Amino acid sequence: MDQALYQNRIEKVKAYMAKEGIDAFLLSPCANLKYVSNYGAMVDERLLVLVISQDAEPFFIANRLYKPHIDETPVSEVAYWDDSISGYDLLKAETEKRKIKTDTLAVDGSLPSLILFSIQEKFPQSKFVLGSKGITELRLIKDAEERKNLEKTSELADLSLKQTIEKGGWIGKTEKEFLNELINNMTKNGMISDGSGIAAVGENAASPHHTTGQTKIREGAALLVDFGATYNGYFSDMTRTFYFGKPSDKFVEIYNTVLKANLKAEREFQIGMLAKDLDKIARDVITEAGYGDYFIHRLGHGIGMDIHEAPGVGIGQETPLVPGMAFSVEPGIYLEGDLGVRIEDIVLVTEEGLKVLNHFPKELIIIEE
Amino acid sequence: MDQALYQNRIEKVKAYMAKEGIDAFLLSPCANLKYVSNYGAMVDERLLVLVISQDAEPFFIANRLYKPHIDETPVSEVAYWDDSISGYDLLKAETEKRKIKTDTLAVDGSLPSLILFSIQEKFPQSKFVLGSKGITELRLIKDAEERKNLEKTSELADLSLKQTIEKGGWIGKTEKEFLNELINNMTKNGMISDGSGIAAVGENAASPHHTTGQTKIREGAALLVDFGATYNGYFSDMTRTFYFGKPSDKFVEIYNTVLKANLKAEREFQIGMLAKDLDKIARDVITEAGYGDYFIHRLGHGIGMDIHEAPGVGIGQETPLVPGMAFSVEPGIYLEGDLGVRIEDIVLVTEEGLKVLNHFPKELIIIEE
């Protein structure tokens, strides 16, 4: 564990808190907590927070079940609770003991309301605000180690999809069977999957977030595959759309429009351009082809320790895209009751320009079985 | 979809709201929403709520990406937002349009603070409370269909563990490899896994929530396996502890103490007894054997559409255990730096008494390879 790395990140969070007038940040389990403390255990209904303040060293409030995970963090001060004492009472007592100011308390945006309300009961005079931004802004710019993890996880995603497609015999199998095989391959390749992912046949692909089910892969229909998993805690996320049998001219036209939008955005990217302007490059291609009303989501989302994080890359988003940022480029066209096509890569902005991290082919792959 | 079933559940929620003085319940994606509306899409950062009130028919506020999932619910009124309009503004406008009272608004305990704070901004005069209890109390008592799903999911968990153990050749393989094989088997058997689960070798098992890693399974050490997944949306959850090679007398003594605690609690269960009294039956066995300080968690937790739900079965928990309830019975002993043993079944209270849903053997299985 790199003590200095975490120390440095905590100092930056404290600087953000000072600027925002936050007295203490009660940081609960999520990627933000992992980022500043290496704490990575499961999330459950038990109160667990890292208390970061200007008045005292950072300390954890944790159920003693989680001691082994606390031991893996650089934080040496911990107050443990168990069934004999309420974690909320302990939080109150420990902040008082350390004379920590609690006029303005920050929590993470992911904190469940159940826990928030219980904390608020113990600090009825405090103002509660979101503190997540102080960490998500740091996470926007990936360091060398993080970039390596992002490259590797996309490389493994490419490999896993290749293995799954090459296995063959997919006609007659269900969406779920395809997704399971893909997840098995990712797992064998050293990634950790949370079981999520989309395999969508034919008209099911018209729903960008289709729930993978029992529809069978068939001749004369497309298969859209959107999936990701982590390597060393960093996410991959990619989409490809295949066709089984002979596609109609209309399908090919739509596919090539999406492909053109994807390639043009990646090719014309410039360091420092605004997120909305990159979105516009892809969107204009689709609009000019007459499908603007059917590209119903943003071009992309940031990625890292969370599968969706900053920066958003869509209409109205003003973030300049600078070295260290990683995000998806995923134009799509969706015709309800008919078809859906999406092509998604993860890209990383480096000092030399845009690096596309997925190398699985993007031209329409026609599968004849 | 059984319209009457969901209608009936919504009516019960409205009765609860009337009793508690809740004007409207803004129910976000979670098992509670699935239970009352069959809405089961992925959770993301986009505002999605089912608004249940006394003043109007239930309606959804949703991003239009989720139309296909809304179409699978019995709810016919929906207001969709997209990138051109804020979901929060739409929520405000739609409640006003329907003249819904908003003095007291309920949210689910799982609602992320980020979304809660954004809702609160639009309703600055409202009092916000937790409404989850009105649904979790309904979910406490499983109906015939739910009981069938719980029986089936535990049966498939038993089968998946059997297949994994019988595969053999585990010495020298890592915890992660064992867990992956188990997850693969569950997936093949028709379950949906979120990738979670614990495989813990030797001293790692002393951490009840050990993070499964690269430690190798070895001769002269135990392997604790705690895992679950869903079938038809209902969770299994079971733990078994195996030994590779010849266990010490101390290990056997501890194992048999845990086993006795598990069996005694299951055998002496009586319909209507309090949760804390069932906990005590198991805890007394472990305390009398001298290990009371090392059984550091409650005896069990409720299970259903969530892996942890009501009722809690532990010290101080006064819930009478009545027909329709399902929960785990999972005593354990944990010696830091040395070993951990846990044996966990899911049980269902029926009108005839306790039904143990896991049938995988519980006597110590010694594996010689």
Answer yes or no: do B175 and B135 share one domain.
no
pLDDT at A58: 97
- Structure tokens belonging to residue A207: 């729903």
pLDDT tens digit string along A116-130? 999 999 999 999 999
Sorting pLDDT into bands at 50, 70 and 90, what band is B294? very high
Answer yes or no: do B301 and B250 share one domain.
yes
pLDDT at A43: 77
Contacts of B119 in chain A (CB under 8 A): none
Sorting pLDDT into bands at 50, 70 and 90, what band is A194? confident
Residue B311 in contact with residue B278, Cβ under 8 Å?
no
Domain with A30 in it: 3-139
pLDDT at B42: 72
Sorting pLDDT into bands at 50, 70 and 90, what band is A45? confident
Answer yes or no: do B110 and B177 share one domain.
no
Q: What is the mean pLDDT of residues B24-42?
A: 94
Q: How many alpha carbons fall within 13 Å on the CB side of residue B174?
A: 10
Q: Which of A122, A139, A156 is the last residue of a domain?
A: A139
Sorting pLDDT into bands at 50, 70 and 90, what band is A44? confident
Residues written for chain A:
369
- Structure tokens belonging to residue B308: 């942890």
- Which residues 297-336 of chain B have a CB within 8 Å of chain A? 297-298, 308, 314-316
Sorting pLDDT into bands at 50, 70 and 90, what band is B43? confident
Nearest to A205 by CA among A261, A273, A251: A251
Residue B153 in contact with residue B232, Cβ under 8 Å?
yes
Q: Which of A139, A171, A198 is the last residue of a domain?
A: A139
Answer yes or no: do A168 and A131 share one domain.
no
pLDDT at B312: 95
- Which residues 189-228 of chain B have a CB within 8 Å of chain A? 192-196, 206-211
What distance in Å separates the CA atoms of residue B329 and residue B209, rounded to the nearest whole number? 16
What distance in Å separates the CA atoms of residue B251 and residue B241, rounded to the nearest whole number? 11
Distances in whole angstroms, Cα of residue B334 to Cα of each of A77, A290, A304, B217, B331: 23, 65, 35, 19, 10
Q: Does B49 touch chain A (CB under 8 A)?
A: no
Q: What is the mean pLDDT of residues A189-210?
A: 92
Residue in chain A nearest B65 by alpha carbon? A208
Q: What is the mean pLDDT of residues A240-258?
A: 98
pLDDT at B82: 86
Q: Does A184 touch chain B (CB under 8 A)?
A: yes
**The total number of structural domains that make up chain A:** 2
State the smallest CA–CA distance between residue A260 and chain B in angstroms: 23
pLDDT tens digit string along B216-273? 999 999 999 999 999 999 999 999 999 999 999 999 999 999 999 999 999 999 999 9
Answer yes or no: do A266 and A344 share one domain.
yes
Nearest to A13 by CA among A29, A25, A28, A2: A25
- Structure tokens belonging to residue A102: 């609690």
Nearest to B303 by CA among B238, B216, B221, B223: B238
**Tokens 């005292």 correspond to what residue?**
A56
Output the domain CATH number for residue B20. Answer: 3.40.350.10
Residue B28 in contact with residue B306, Cβ under 8 Å?
no
Residue A180, pLDDT > 90, answer: no
Answer yes or no: do A154 and A114 share one domain.
no
- Bridge partners (DSSP) listed for residue A366: A243
Alpha helices in chain B (DSSP H): 3-20, 31-37, 67-70, 87-97, 113-122, 133-139, 144-167, 175-188, 249-268, 275-288
Q: Decide if B113 and A117 are in contact by the 8 Å CB cutoff.
A: no
Sorting pLDDT into bands at 50, 70 and 90, what band is B41? confident
Q: What is the mean pLDDT of residues A307-312?
A: 94
Residue B166, pLDDT > 80, answer: yes
Contacts of B82 in chain A (CB under 8 A): 296
Answer yes or no: do B127 and B214 share one domain.
no
> Longest Cα pair distance anywhere in chain A, in angstroms?
72
Cα angle value A238/A239/A244 (rounded, 5°): 145
- Which residues 235-254 of chain B have a CB within 8 Å of chain A? none
Sorting pLDDT into bands at 50, 70 and 90, what band is B68? confident
Distances in whole angstroms, Cα of residue B77 to Cα of each of A137, B62, B99: 38, 11, 15
pLDDT at B188: 84
Q: Does A67 touch chain B (CB under 8 A)?
A: yes
pLDDT at B57: 96
Answer yes or no: do A40 and A178 share one domain.
no
Residue A131, pLDDT > 80, answer: yes
Edge-to-edge order in the sheet of strand A326-329 = A309-313, A300-302, A326-329, A345-350, A353-356
Output the domain CATH number for residue A160. Answer: 3.90.230.10
pLDDT at A82: 86
Residue in chain A nearest B309 by alpha carbon? A45
Q: Decide if A207 and B117 are in contact by the 8 Å CB cutoff.
A: no
- Bridge partners (DSSP) listed for residue A349: A354
Residue in chain A nearest B68 by alpha carbon? A207
What distance in Å separates the CA atoms of residue B120 and residue B353, rounded to the nearest whole number? 46
Instruction: Name the strand (E) or helix (H) holding A268.
Output: helix A249-268
Q: What is the mean pLDDT of residues B296-312?
A: 96
Q: Does A351 touch chain B (CB under 8 A)?
A: no
Answer yes or no: do B222 and B300 share one domain.
yes
pLDDT tens digit string along A79-89? 999 877 899 99
What distance in Å separates the CA atoms of residue B39 and residue B135, rounded to the nearest whole number? 15
Q: Decide if A117 and B111 are in contact by the 8 Å CB cutoff.
A: no
What distance in Å separates the CA atoms of residue A4 and residue B156, rounded to the nearest whole number? 47
Edge-to-edge order in the sheet of strand B353-356 = B309-313, B300-302, B326-329, B345-350, B353-356
Q: Decide if A180 and B187 are in contact by the 8 Å CB cutoff.
A: yes
Cis bond leading into B74, ω under 30°? Answer: no
Q: What is the mean pLDDT of residues B111-135?
A: 97
Contacts of A193 in chain B (CB under 8 A): 195
What distance in Å separates the CA atoms of residue A213 and residue A159, rounded to the nearest whole number? 24
What distance in Å separates the CA atoms of residue A20 and residue A16, rounded to the nearest whole number? 6
pLDDT tens digit string along B184-228? 899 889 898 888 899 999 999 999 989 898 899 999 999 999 999
Q: Which of B139, B158, B191 is the last residue of a domain?
A: B139
3-state secondary structure (DSSP) of residue A64: helix
- Which residues 112-141 of chain A have a CB within 8 Å of chain B? 112-114, 116-117, 128-130, 132
Cis bond leading into A311, ω under 30°? Answer: yes
Q: What is the mean pLDDT of residues B13-19?
A: 98
State the smallest CA–CA distance between residue B224 and chain A in angstroms: 16
pLDDT at A22: 98
Q: Decide if A110 and B114 are in contact by the 8 Å CB cutoff.
A: yes
Q: Decide if A315 and B83 are in contact by the 8 Å CB cutoff.
A: yes
What distance in Å separates the CA atoms of residue B51 and residue B75, rounded to the nearest whole number? 10
Residue B173 in contact with residue B216, Cβ under 8 Å?
yes
Answer yes or no: do B296 and B189 share one domain.
yes
Distances in whole angstroms, Cα of residue B96 to Cα of each of B73, B101, B271: 24, 8, 48
Answer yes or no: do A152 and A134 share one domain.
no
Answer yes or no: do B202 and B346 share one domain.
yes
| Residues above pLDDT 70, as percent of chain B | 100
- Structure tokens belonging to residue A320: 């300049």
Of B41, B116, B187, the CB nearest to A113: B116
Q: Does B292 touch chain A (CB under 8 A)?
A: no
- Bridge partners (DSSP) listed for residue B234: B231
- Structure tokens belonging to residue A314: 């869509």
Strands A309-313 and A300-302, bridge-based pairing: antiparallel
What distance in Å separates the CA atoms of residue B368 and residue B359, rounded to the nearest whole number? 23
pLDDT tens digit string along B305-363? 999 999 999 999 999 999 999 999 999 999 999 999 999 999 999 999 999 999 999 99
Sign of the CA dihedral running B132, B197, A35, A63: positive
What distance in Å separates the CA atoms of residue B354 and residue B270, rounded to the nearest whole number? 8
Distances in whole angstroms, Cα of residue B336 to Cα of each of A155, B69, B84, B207, B242: 39, 47, 56, 7, 18
pLDDT tens digit string along A268-281? 999 999 999 999 99
Residue in chain A nearest B198 by alpha carbon? A42
